[in-house]
Structure 1
Amino acid sequence: MPTNTKLKLSIGLTITAIVIYYSIGALKGLNVEGLFHSDINWSFTVVSVIIFVYANYIRGLAYTRGIDRDMDRMTALQIVGIGHAANMVLPFHVGEGLRAAFFPSGYSAIRRTNLLVIPAFADFAAIMMLSILAVPFAGFKDQNLLKALWILTFLCIAALILFMILIVFLPRLRSYFSEYLNFDTVKMMFWVILSWILLLVSTWLGLVAFDFPWMASIRMSLAVFAATNIINFIPATPGAIGLFEYGTILGLGGLGIDQTTALSVSLLLHLIQYAALLPLGIFLYIKSLHGQYGKAFTKMWHINRQKDTKWLTLKRIK
């Protein structure tokens, strides 16, 4: 097996061990034992998990039907799914950086960086857009959250204006991004927004599963979406444990839901995320290892078998 492959394999196994270690800690920190004694509709919960998984598939289409038509759908799903799964068990949004390792081997460092940064900005824009629309429909009036939302909105608009000015007046920067200044970027944005809408639907079904009324759950899901995603911009604990619960309590508190109930809701919604992303991430990671190292393992196994056969033959001759 080539030294480069051995090095990648060692790094892969190390990452696997780290992820397993942090997964155990993250799941312990969730403290979901009490949920199993609550009156929860687990059928709706399962549907919510399925929609959450499907949203990751749709997010992958931002590559294959958007800014990178050369990429196949499985690779795109691996980049998205493994990155999100890693974020659920590793701190500081480390999964965003790990995605770079799962791009096709022929991609240059610059291309990988562009394909990470541009969709990340698209995610931010989609979250802000949906959150701004969610606030008036949700009806909650928490001043701290509203202030944070408006600050982020103005910063986003200012950054967009500055970027457009730089693109116009700096030819070198314009040529650097020229590959992505086309209609495919608009298509990418469509798939990104659609994926976040599906995540919003997953949250809504999670609230319905907690036996909240169907129509009331729509307002509540909008409040939870805005609060948790804005707070989740803070890179901190694995899976935003603690921050997600705080955001859910904050969002639902603005609608008159008591903290005890809101905490139980937050645990269920967080459990849905883990139930969707961890199995998906593990499956995609194993599949990626099979694709990258399967031939190397097979070749190594054949070489070792040939060596064993030669050794047995020599032993019999002696």
Structure 2
Amino acid sequence: MPTKTKLKLFIGIIITAVVVYYSIGALKGLHVGELFHVHINWGLALVSVAIFAYANYIRGLAYTRGIDRDMDRMTALQIVGIGHAANMVLPFHVGEGLRAAFFPRGYSAIKITNLLVIPAFADFAAIMILSIAAVPFAGFKDQNLLKALWILTFLCIAAFILFVILIFFLPRLRSYLSEYLNLDTVKMMYWVLLSWIILLVSTWIGLVAFGFPWVASIRMSLAVFAATNIINFIPATPGAIGLFEYGTILGLGGLGIDPTTALSASLLLHLIQYAALLPLGLFLYMKSLHGQYGEALSNLWHTNRQKDTKSIKLKRTK
């Protein structure tokens, strides 16, 4: 077996071990046992899990029906799903960088970078659009969160204006980005935005599963979405453990929900995310190993088997 293949297999095993190790530690931080003291509709919780997982498939369409139509859907889902799963168990949003390893062979480093950075900006834009739109409908009046939203809004507008000016006055930059300044980028933004709307629906169903009324949960989901996603911009703990709970308490607190109830609801919503992303990420990771290294693993197994057979024959001969 070539040394390069052995190195890839070794790295794959190390990544798997690290993911499992951090998964155990991250899930302990959730204290999920507290959820069993609350009356929860686990059927609706499973629906929320399925919707959350489906949002990842929709997010993958930002590639296949957007900025990279040559990419197949399974590869796009692997890039999105494995990256999100890794973020749930590794700190500092490391999963965003790990996605680069799952792009098709033959993609240049520049192309991979573009295909990572551009959708990331689209994610940020989608979060801001939905969060800003959520504020008047959510009805919460937390001044710190409102101030953060307005600051981020003005920063986004200023950054967009600066970006347009740079493109207009820098022909080199315009030429560099010309490949992506087209209708496909607009379509990419549509699928990214749709995926975040589906995640918002998952949050709504999760709150209903916790026991909140259907109509009231709409406002609550908007508040939780805005608070948690803005706070999640801070790259810190695996799966934003602690930050997500704080954001949920902040969002629901603005609607008059007491902190104890809000904390329990946040644990359920966080558990839904883990239940959706970890199994999906593990499945996609194993499938990627089968696709890239399956033949190498098979050859290794056959080689070892042949060695064992020869060894047995030699012993019998002696």
CA offsets 1:184-233 (integer angstroms, 9 cap, x no match): 00000000000000000000001101111111000000000000000000
The one-letter code of the counterpart of 1:163 is: F
Stretch moving more, 161-170 or 116-125: 161-170
| In 1, Cα distance between equivalents of 2:198 and 2:118 | 21
Structure 1 counterpart of 2:284: 284
2:200 aligned with 1:200, yes or no? yes
| In 1, Cα distance between equivalents of 2:249 and 2:256 | 10
| In 1, Cα distance between equivalents of 2:268 and 2:8 | 37
Structure 2 counterpart of 1:106: 106
Deviation at 1:157, TM superposition (A): 1.1
Stretch moving more, 71-80 or 167-176: 167-176
Deviation at 1:252, TM superposition (A): 0.5
The one-letter code of the counterpart of 1:162 is: L
2:231 aligned with 1:231, yes or no? yes
Structure 1 unpaired stretches of 5+: none
CA offsets 1:36-59 (integer angstroms, 9 cap, x no match): 121110110000000000000000
Backbone CA RMSD of aligned residues: 1.3
Structure 2 counterpart of 1:57: 57
Stretch moving more, 128-137 or 170-179: 170-179
Matches within 5 A, 1:115-154: 115-154=115-154
The one-letter code of the counterpart of 2:236 is: A
The one-letter code of the counterpart of 1:58 is: I
| In 2, Cα distance between equivalents of 1:310 and 1:243 | 58
Structure 1 counterpart of 2:254: 254
Structure 1 counterpart of 2:95: 95
Matches within 5 A, 1:1-318: 1-311=1-311
The one-letter code of the counterpart of 1:239 is: G
| In 2, Cα distance between equivalents of 1:39 and 1:305 | 54
| In 2, Cα distance between equivalents of 1:246 and 1:114 | 33
TM-score, normalization by structure 1: 0.97
| In 1, Cα distance between equivalents of 2:192 and 2:105 | 24
| In 2, Cα distance between equivalents of 1:63 and 1:114 | 12
Deviation at 1:167, TM superposition (A): 1.1
TM-score, normalization by structure 2: 0.97
The one-letter code of the counterpart of 1:5 is: T
Alignment length, in residue pairs?
A: 318
| In 1, Cα distance between equivalents of 2:17 and 2:23 | 10
| In 1, Cα distance between equivalents of 2:38 and 2:313 | 66
| In 1, Cα distance between equivalents of 2:239 and 2:303 | 42
| In 2, Cα distance between equivalents of 1:90 and 1:308 | 39
SS of the residue aligned with 1:284?
helix
| In 1, Cα distance between equivalents of 2:311 and 2:14 | 33
| In 1, Cα distance between equivalents of 2:203 and 2:161 | 33
The one-letter code of the counterpart of 1:288 is: S
CA offsets 1:3-54 (integer angstroms, 9 cap, x no match): 1111111111111111111111100000110111211101100000000000
| In 1, Cα distance between equivalents of 2:316 and 2:171 | 74
Deviation at 1:309, TM superposition (A): 4.5
Deviation at 1:306, TM superposition (A): 3.8
| In 2, Cα distance between equivalents of 1:173 and 1:232 | 30
Deviation at 1:313, TM superposition (A): 5.5
Deviation at 1:310, TM superposition (A): 4.8
